[in-house]
Amino acid sequence: MYLFVINKKSGNGHGYRTWIKIKTALDTRLVRYRYLFTESADQAENMIMETLSEPEKWLGVAVIGGDGTIHSVLPILKDFGIPLAVIPAGSGNDTARGFDIPHDPLSALDIMLAGQTRSADLIATSGGLTLTAFAIGFDAQVAENVNTSMYKKICNFFRVGRAAYIVGVLHTLLTFKPCSVTVTCDGVETTYANAWLTAISNVKSYGGGLHICPEAHPGDGQLDICIVHGCSRLQILRLFPTLLSGKHVHLPFVKFLRGKQLSVRFDQQRLALGDGENMSSEPFDIFVEPSALQVYAV
């Protein structure tokens, strides 16, 4: 038996339209399943826990929605030891991209029904668990501005979700002020002046396909860290197009670290997002939980 968790509102209603296609395919193939509709993280957590507690052999929990919906079920899947299946229907879909899951819903369904899973690490902080990336600073503020904007809805309507993040960069550049950050990685402490962002990543890309940590792998037991510091607003503006290809790795104001335990201390209060969800509870003490989750993937 599979449990499907559907966020009907994800991607401007794309979640519900995707579910209709999936339901038709499940019924045609005579697959046993249950489904739940959810509109909030708290609602999803309560409903899923209650359902999974029933005496049934659960083969997986399939999330039809975006990265935020997936984020809300991570603690449950970890505790129950049930694999995650991803049917992308959000605007960013970084989880699907990180595990090479196709955007086409029926192709994504085929991956789940094939039954092959991959081990995935989780990023653990005081605010909870994250699967894709934990972003602190400018990039988090960009995502927050995008998520609360009208231009995100417009971009989703025209199926160009990535464009919303480009607009968000320009929007955020107008007001954001960099500050000093001290990063301790596996016991080694370094302070970076004029820091814009610190991104801790478990997959190669975030923000709808920006390759922030091109060497990251979700199952290697390590966290990849990208720190952008000591640069001007114009350089930040030039940085983001290079994230589409990963060419920013050669820029002198971009620093990469890799480790299992991190501490991040900004001189000023900073917004932090995990899988695009607000996780700003400080201090930012971060560590990897190796192979804490199974994900249906090729």
List, for residues 135-148, the tens digit of each pLDDT value. Answer: 999 999 988 888 78
pLDDT score of 112: 98
| Interval 232-289: pLDDT, tens | 999 998 898 898 889 999 999 999 999 999 999 999 999 999 998 999 988 899 999 9
Q: Which amino acid is at 261?
A: Q
| Confidence category of residue 167, pLDDT binned at 50, 70, 90 | confident
pTM of the predicted model, to two decimals?
0.92
**pLDDT recorded at residue 95:** 95
- Residue-wise burial string across 159-174, b where 16 or more C-beta atoms lie within 10 A, e elsewhere: eebebbbbbbbebbee
Mean pLDDT of the chain: 92
pLDDT grade for 159, boundaries at 50, 70 and 90:
low
Cα atoms in the 13 Å half-sphere on the side-chain side of 280: 11
Q: In this structure, are residues 133 and 212 in contact, taking their beta carbons and an 8 Å threshold? A: yes
Amino acid at 284: F
Phi and psi angles of residue 63, each rounded to the nearest 5 degrees, phi first: -100, 120
* Rounded Cα gap, residues 262 and 283, in angstroms: 11
Q: Output the six-digit token pair for 211.
A: 């390759």
Q: What is the pLDDT of residues 92-101, one digit of tens each?
A: 899 999 999 9
Rounded mean pLDDT, 140-169? 78
Q: Is the model's pLDDT at 199 over the cut of 80?
A: yes
Whole-angstrom CA distances from 131 to 69, 134, 281 are 12, 8, 17
- Report helix, strand or coil for 10: helix
Peptide bond between residue 283 and the one before it cis (omega within 30 degrees of 0): yes
Q: Name the β-bridge partners of 182.
A: 191, 265
